[in-house]
């Protein structure tokens, strides 16, 4: 150990206390790493081709990385980051999450977004089902074909 370190840590009687002090001094995350994580978190946007679950997992991972680096976010900061990173097509959910009194913690926002994705996927499936099951009405026989006398009267007379 160099003289500078020896002077700094000479006041510890037990090796365990010295070890804890050394760990506290050198376990910190470099400032550049913390800045990199913060920028990544602040600028992250949901990719259109990613599912909501994948997006929320990514956000949770970034929050955990920041926490591990010693930067704890408040629940409000987490919620605001989620709102900010949603795409413009989710504007209605941005408004809902911003103004809802029921969204108090990050997990509340996660649950609302997962429910909305489920709702949108069920609407999409329902719309696709109706589009494939819809068959246009069959055309009736030619109006001006056999038995047409003109002026809307048929040769067979009125149907009973």
Residues 5 and 107: their CA atoms lie apart, in Å, by: 45
What pLDDT is stored for residue 31 in this prediction?
Answer: 78
What pLDDT is stored for residue 142 in this prediction?
Answer: 55
Residues 41 and 78: their CA atoms lie apart, in Å, by: 10
Question: Please, what is the Cα angle at 38 between 93 and 45, to 5 degrees?
Answer: 35
- Angle between helical axes of 91-99 and 75-85 (0-180°, round to 10): 160
What pLDDT is stored for residue 149 in this prediction?
Answer: 58
pLDDT in tens, the chain (160 residues): 566 667 776 777 787 877 777 777 666 667 788 889 999 999 999 998 899 999 999 999 999 999 988 889 999 999 999 999 999 989 999 999 999 999 999 999 999 999 999 998 888 877 766 666 655 555 555 555 555 555 555 556 566 5
What pLDDT is stored for residue 73 in this prediction?
Answer: 93
Name the nearest CA neighbour of 110 among 71, 54, 70, 67: 54
What pLDDT is stored for residue 148 in this prediction?
Answer: 52
| Residue 60 dihedral angles phi and psi, to the nearest 5° | -60, -40
What pLDDT is stored for residue 145 in this prediction?
Answer: 54
């Amino acid at each position: 150990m160099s003289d500078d370190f020896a002077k700094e840590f000479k006041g510890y009687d037990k090796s365990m206390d010295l070890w804890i002090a050394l760990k506290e001094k050198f376990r910190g995350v470099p400032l550049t790493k913390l800045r990199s994580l913060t920028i990544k978190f602040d600028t992250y946007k949901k990719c259109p081709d990613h599912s909501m679950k994948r997006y929320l997992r990514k956000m949770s991972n970034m929050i955990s990385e920041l926490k591990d680096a010693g930067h704890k976010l408040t629940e409000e900061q987490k919620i605001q980051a989620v709102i900010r990173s949603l795409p413009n097509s989710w504007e209605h959910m941005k408004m809902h999450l911003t103004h809802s009194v029921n969204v108090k913690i990050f997990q509340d926002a996660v649950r609302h977004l997962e429910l909305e994705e489920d709702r949108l996927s069920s609407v999409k499936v329902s719309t696709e089902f109706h589009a494939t099951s819809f068959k246009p009405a069959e055309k009736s026989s030619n109006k001006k074909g056999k038995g047409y006398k003109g002026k809307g009267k048929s040769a067979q007379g009125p149907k009973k």
